[in-house]
Structures are given as C-alpha cells and as structure tokens.
Chains A and B, each alone.
Chain A
Amino acid sequence: MIISIASGKGGTGKTTVAVNLALSLENNVQYLDCDVEEPNGHIFIKPEFQPPITVGTPIPEVDKSKCSYCGKCGEICQYNAILVIKNNVLVFPELCHSCAGCWLVCPEDAISPIERELGIIEQGNNGGVEFIHGKLRIGEAMSPPLIRKVKEKIDPAKTVIIDAPPGTSCPVIESIKKSDFILLVTEPTPFGLNDLKLAVEMVRSLKLKLGVIINRSDVGNDEVRDYCAEENIPILMEIKNDRKIAEAYSRGVPLVALYPEYRAKFQTLYHDIERRAGA
C-alpha cells in the first residue's frame, strides 16, 4: 500500500505525520521523502546513508559538424530550450523538459542526449524503515523528474509512506499520483482551510481517496471541521497544540519518542487507512 502525506499549506506537519506513522509501523516500511526541494524526513528517521547517487535528465547536445541548421529542433521544442539562429544552434539546458523531440526530429542525426544533473538520491535504513530521499541541486528549477526517480525506488511489497512537498501543483501531483490513500495535514486556521480546500480539489481531480489530519487542533477556529463535515471528508486524527511537541520537533525528536502513547494512535490510523483504501 502507498500512503501519501500532503498539505497545500506548508509547515502544517506533513513530515511529523509521515515520520511517526513510519516509526509506529516499525517493520517492512519504506519512507520516500519526495519534498526534494527541502527534504526533512532524514532529520527524524536518522538513516545510515549509503553513498549518494547523482541523477540527471537527458538534454540535447548538438554536433555542429553534422548540423545543417534546418531549424526543425527549434520548431518542435515547446520550451524555447533550443534555437537555430542563422548558422548557430543555441541550447538553454535549464529550460529543457527532456521530451526528446529535438533528437528524434533532427534529420541529420546531429543531436544526441547528454545528462543535466538534477540532484542526488540517498538511501539508507534505520531499523525496519527503509529511507529514500532526493535532494534537488541548488539552482535546478524542475523537481518532478527527480521525484519520478525517487518513486522508481518504490517496493510494492512494503508499506510505502510518501512525504510530499507543500502546494498543489506539479511536484505535489508527481509525488502523490498512484497512491492508495492521501492524508492531508492541515491546521484549523484561515490559511489552513484555504489551502486544504485547494488540496482536496487536487486530490479529487486525481480521483484518489483522502482523509484529513488536524494538527495544532486547539488553535484557530472550527471552520476546517465544518468544511470536512460538509464535504464528507473523514478527520482521521487530531494532534493538539503542545509546546513540548514543537520543542521536540525543533531538536529532531519524533513525536512517538516524546509521547510513546502516540504509537498506538498512529497504528490505529494505519488500520483505518488500510480499511478505507480497501473499501
């Protein structure tokens, strides 16, 4: 089973939920941190990493001795990543989406793919949790191709927990698609509610099952609960606003290490998800 933790608004507690769910299940768990721009799961899971693997994406390289400057590559490219100007070809690697159009279309066979570095993937274990994350190279704009590479590591024999990036656009969709269940973590504030609504619409557009977790559940107002009731969205867990939890988080101490009784709560949450995902 693949469970993705997403949120719309950042900083609501995605990583807290993902980490503590993984630690409460103990065995046969795979944790994929798909927030490749700002991955934080490793701070709490503390895996022993194997050496990193550099991953790239194919971009064009032009052999000018073969090029006839016909301009077909520039015509097919939707991203302005390759341009023919008179007797010159310009490639803008950072704009390339690796669609292969230019090297497929080139009649002179003058274009071949080379790699642009996207970032690294690191993998390691701690106890029964297999941990994998991607780290986007500083200055790289496109995270979805790196997220795809992280997701290639999915082991279907395990319970897979995906820690998604915040927001509702392409990196989030890449992270959560093909999941069996989506947990949306929110807080009961106007910002939390606004971004939860966007996240719910996104999950529904992907036709995936979802549930909500309310973090810092005793701040703000009741509008998130009212919204979930109206929309028939189950609230699967609430975590109170507790300064001790926030302080432990600041030091990289997981919630289940601070309050061991949360382990049973996360196990119940897992069984609840299992039942809902199967239904």
Chain B
Amino acid sequence: MKEIVIISGKGGTGKTTITAAFAALAKNKVMADCDVDAADLHLILSPDIQHEEDFYSGKTAFIRENDCTDCGKCLEVCQFAAISPDFIVDPVACEGCGVCVYFCPVDAIDFNENLSGSWFISNTRFGTMVHARLGIAEENSGKLVTLVRRQAKLLAEKQNADYIIVDGAPGIGCPVISSITGANAVLVVTEPTLSGRHDLERVVSLAAGHFQIHTFVCVNKYDLNAEMTDQIEGYCQENNIGFVGKIPYDTIVTDAMVQAKTIIEFSDGVIAKEIGIMWEKINRSI
C-alpha cells in the first residue's frame, strides 16, 4: 500500500483539483482530506457520511470567579497573556498548558478538554474517504491530521487497498508536517509565479530535504508564464526532484468544480490527459 500526499507550499495552486482527479484515476484506494481547517475535497467527492466521531483535543483553563481570591499567581505564570487583570481567561489565547491550574493556591481553575472538531468516514463514488472538520478558532490541527491519516491507514489495510490519496494543507508548518511524515510520496502542486517558485523551494526543502520523502512536482496553469515553468523544471532536475507534468490554464477547471465533478469526469481534454499521465508517472516510480 502506498500513501501519496498532495501539498503545495503556496495556497490555491490546485491541490484539491489534482487530489480529486487522482481519486477518479486510482484503482482500489482510500481518500483522506488532511486540509482540516479549510477542507474542500468533500465538495467534489460528495461524501455520504457513515461514521462520525467527536475530536477532543487540548484543554482550556477557566477561573471560577467565586473561588478566586485575586492573588495574581496565574497572571504571573501565564506565558501567553491569556488572563485578564480581572482574572478572566481568554479561551483563544489560552494555550492549554495548565500552568495556572497547577499554581493556583486555592484550586479555583477548571481545566476541561475541548471539543475541537469532528471526523468522518464516508462513502463516495470513488471509494472510502476519511475527512474532518476542525472547530472554528480551534487549535491542534496537526493532531486532527494525524488522526485522519491513521484512520485512513486502518481502513486501507482492512480493505486491502493499494493507495491512500491524501489532500494536504498549504504552508510548511504543523498540519503539513503532520500530513507528510512517513508518507511514501509527496506531490507538490505549484504555479509558475515568483511566489509559487519561492514557496515550492521551501516546501521541497521540508519534504525532500528535511524528511527525505520521495517528492514529485507539477506546475498548474503553466502557460501563465512558460519561462518560469522552465525555471521550475530546471530547479527540479538540478535537485533530483521528479518533474511529472504541466497543466495549462483553462476555465473548465472552475466549471468542473461548480458542477461538483472531477476534471476526469467532466472532460476528456488536455488537462484530464495530462493529469492521467502524471498519475502514471508517479505510480511507476513508487
């Protein structure tokens, strides 16, 4: 079983469009949406939820006004400026470290687990999908990503699946690190812009450099700046990164999205063909 994670560095380059297309192309697979704080894959795969579970993660301090003696110890020890001078905890600023709870001399601080979101196992027209929703303004997206991947892996093992196809998050921080560690391969979807190239180099340093994961790159909307696309291809060759394809700019990608279809279902044009070739190239090299 091979786990392939689609990431991008820069946001909005087309991760989810490519992930959904791979979901349509790959045989015998499980899908996972690990972009838990702006999940979009469900808009294309229309999951029918079979199983739902709460996600509890982290704790938040709460000062019981009636028991508080205004001694100020909590204010003194809090490193996150989460407690106001009149001893009210700002739940958004609270990091859930429990240091105030420990040091409160009169035990006036409650410390309860947060309901931080929920996660789902669903049926889709392409097979099983694991996805999640992080609560508004909640933390610990990395932990939820880890949970989604673990559930997808358990299901894939049970179903004897050949692939797990994972939609990742933008950036290079906590949710991205949680979505790629231990994966078999990473596909970075970039665009031929200075920003795209800058962000590509950082995310490739993370995936191929720091974590030593087999990394592939493709350029979306390549014809917006063909020269930049060539530079990106050159960068990949120099750094031994598999450059697997370039997709032209076309508004049919948006049209397919509006119809809640993958580009593979929506058209048999050049974009669908190019993504099919990309999938074959990745498939052969892993």
Contacts and interface: CB of A to CB of B under 8 A. Distances in A.
Given A11-B13, A97-B97, A76 B40 contact: no
B251 A38 contact: no
B141 A38 contact: no
Nearest to A221: B258
A220 B194 contact: no
Interface residues of B, number: 67
B192 to A, nearest CB: 6
A74 interface: no
B137 A99 contact: no
A252 B196 CA distance: 11
A166 B11 contact: yes
Contacts of B80: 99
A25 to B, nearest CB: 22
Contacts of B193: 249-251
Nearest to B141: A169
How many of chain A's residues touch chain B, expressed as a range? 35 or more
B37 interface: yes
Nearest to B136: A201
Contact of A189 (B38, B174, B258): B258
Interface in B1-57: 8-13, 16, 36-38, 40, 43
A9 interface: yes
A63 B214 CA distance: 40
Contacts of A246: 221, 224, 249
Given A10-B11, A168-B134, A252 B194 contact: yes
Interface in A48-104: 76, 78-79, 97-101, 104
Contact of A101 (B97, B169, B258): B97
Interface of B: 8-13, 16, 36-38, 40, 43, 58-59, 77, 79-80, 92-93, 95-99, 102-103, 134, 136-139, 141-142, 169-178, 191-196, 198-199, 202-203, 205-206, 209-210, 221, 224-225, 228, 249, 251, 254, 257-258, 260
